[in-house]
Amino acid sequence: MNPANYLYISALLFTIGAIGVVVRRNAIVIFMCVELMLNACNLAFVTFARINGNLDGQVVAFFTMVVAACEVVVGLAIIVTIYRSRRSASVDDASLLKR
């Protein structure tokens, strides 16, 4: 088996995550799809690190995990704040700036 096969899975997961971000309307599910995309990128990093035989890709994947954790913390805090004022976690309901 070719290690590049992992890149196909990575590409598939990234695409599925992108569909989810566009199609779903629950803010929490959208966030989960973003996490899926970040994970897919991490898989690509790890695979490239292995193909090239140095660990720089793994270090970058590690940094991605830290940044993703930050993003989740702040994003979920924003969702909770929006939910508290609007009683809804749907991204379609937060459209006050449109009107």
Partner 1 sequence: MMHQVIEIGRTQTPEAVLYWILGPLAVLAALGMVVVKKAVHSAILLAWVMISLAIFYIAQDAVFLGIVQVVVYTGAVMMLFLFILMLVGVESSESLTETIRGLRPIAIVAALGFGGLLISLIGHATLGRSFVGLTDANAGGNVQALAGLLFSKYVWAFEVVSALLITAALGAMVLAHNHRIIARPTQRDLATARFRGTSLAKAAGLPGPGVYALHNAVDVPALLPDGTPAQASISATLKARGDVIDSRPFQLSTIESEEE
Is residue 84 a contact residue for partner 1 (CB under 8 A)? yes
Q: How far is the CB of 65 from partner 1 (least distance, A)?
A: 6
Q: For residue 45, what are the contacts with CB-CB under 8 A and spacing of at least 6?
A: 57, 58, 60, 61, 64
Residues 42-81, interacting with partner 1 (CB under 8 A): 42-43, 46-47, 49-56, 58-59, 61-63, 65-74, 76-81
Residues 32, 97, 98, 99: which binds partner 1 (CB under 8 A)? 32
Least distance (Å) between residue 87 CB and partner 1 = 9
- What does the alpha-carbon distance between residue 8 and residue 4 come to, in Å, rounded to a whole number? 7
Q: How many CA atoms lie within 13 A of 68 on its CB side?
A: 18
Residue 7 C-beta: closest distance to partner 1, Å: 5
3-state helix, strand, coil in the chain (%, to 5): 80, 0, 20
For residues 5 to 24, the per-residue mask of contacts with partner 1, x marking binding by CB under 8 A and - elsewhere, is xxxxx-xxxxxxxxxx-xxx
